[in-house]
Amino acid sequence: MEKVPEEHRRKTFGLAAKDASGILSPFSFSRRNNGDEDITLKILFCGICHSDLHCIKNEWRNAVYQSHEIVGVVTEVGRNVSKFKLGDRAGVGCMVGSCRSCGSCKQGFENYCPQMVLTYNSVDGDGTMTYGGYSDAVVPAIGQGAPLLCAGITVYSPMKHFGLNEPGKHLGVVGLGGLGHVAVKFAKAFGMKVTVISSSPSKEKEAMERLGADAFLVSSSMDQILAATGTMDGIINTVSATHPLMPLLILLKTHGKMIMVGAPEKPLEVPAFSLILGMEDTQEMLDFAGKHGITADVEVIRMDYVNTAMERLARNDVRYRFVIDVPTP
């Protein structure tokens, strides 16, 4: 049994997967008490990410079992904290900790910190496990803003860092799900031309009429793919299932960029000739989203619906993100 340090006595209730069945069930555990550098959140909403589905079924083969799109209200503030006060709304994304002193942290790249602590399935600084956001409290825009803390930054950050945020450039978005629909919104707000590439022809109307995409390609139609050969400055690939990369690579202009943000269970094959022939962010993203009115499209669910939501997510039966209304029983 996990040893609980003296400073780790905050009783918490949530939902957790306890084996690879993928079934979430009630789970009582403890979190560490609020420290001088910490804030404590009463969790109000928590998004459901496709990576949660991978994790609870142990498809990545590294699960210690129990989200990371958390928003809530600050209920406790450490004495050295200046950015937040009691009652503020705040959010937690994929990380809850880092050393804050290494070269990566000082440059704003905490995700490369050797001591980076993930929001769940990770070991905290006191040696205990982190358990994520399917719960009532956590020590680290309500509802529709929750998925931005994972889905939003997952697409926004690489778009910014690889120059795929410039007006007039042509971006391909592969997959129109939790990540893809936010990528389309950001790209249009950047002033880009956007083509959605999907295996589902039925999503064309949604992509074009509702999300404002400029074009739509069916990924299995080689006629459509060949007609668009060499037209895109970059592609952001959000698909979390195994799929062929060759048809996508030929869409890129010379020196075009393919950004992989989906996390399939099995490794993807990359044809060598395709590569030879061509190929502080979270706060900024939230500010940009607020300025342009960008939120994720969500279906708010109660805690007792979470297992049904997981089954629907496995069938891609959601538009586009589930968010748990944590306080509602």
Where does CATH 3.90.180.10 sit in the chain? 6-147
Chain center to CA of 103: 25
Helix (H, G, I), strand (E, B) or coil at 300: strand
Q: Do 161 and 109 form a contact (C-beta atoms < 8 A)?
A: no
Q: What is the pLDDT of residue 273?
A: 64
The predicted pLDDT at position 175 comes to: 95
Burial of 317 (0-12, 13-18, 19+ CB in 10 A): exposed
pLDDT of residue 306: 92
Distance CA 121, CA 67 (A): 10
pLDDT of the residue at 145: 54
| Per-residue pLDDT in tens (0 to 9) along the chain, 329 residues | 344 445 556 777 777 777 777 788 887 777 777 878 888 888 877 777 777 776 777 776 666 544 455 678 888 888 888 888 888 887 776 777 777 788 888 887 777 787 877 777 676 766 666 766 666 666 664 445 556 767 788 899 999 999 999 999 999 999 999 899 999 999 999 999 999 999 999 999 999 999 999 999 999 999 999 999 999 999 999 998 888 888 899 999 988 999 998 877 777 877 666 665 544 678 888 899 999 999 999 999 998 999 999 999 999 999 899 999 988 76
According to DSSP, residue 213 is labeled -
State pTM to two decimals.
0.63
Any idea which fold 6-147 has?
Quinone Oxidoreductase; Chain A, domain 1 (3.90.180)
Please list the residue range(s) of the chain that carry CATH number 3.40.50.720. Answer: 152-278
| pLDDT at residue number 275 | 62
Amino acid 311: pLDDT: 92
Task: Check residue 119 and report its DSSP letter.
Answer: S
- Domain 152-278 in CATH 1.20.120.80? The answer is no
pLDDT of residue 205: 96
DSSP code, position 269:
P
